[in-house]
Structure 1
């Protein structure tokens, strides 16, 4: 899978993800969304939510 990072209408980077990295990315996104949903709709938890996909640096800026 190729993950692209966009700023407005400009692709500022992309990275190829292996299947295991896609699983980790989706798991992280799901956990973050579940955490935010548990905080209540529209309510801030007062903490930042972040996740990291581990793996070799392969991002290529354009």
Structure 2
């Protein structure tokens, strides 16, 4: 018995998402960043000014919890 092939879900790599996880007292922002699928992400940590620049450069969509 063979399992029928299914198409993978569509992924639009032009869509970029950020979910802020925490803002630390030392000025760093911990956030989840994802491409295409908001549920698949990597956690990153940047100083606030670099985080703001990162968001502008990548034209991210901010996700709420």
Task: Tell me if TM exceeds 0.5.
Answer: no
Q: Which protein is richer in helix relative to its size? A: 1
For normalisation by structure 2, the TM-score amounts to 0.28
Q: Which protein is richer in strand relative to its size? A: 2
Q: Which has the higher contact order (CA 8 A, sep 6+)?
A: 1
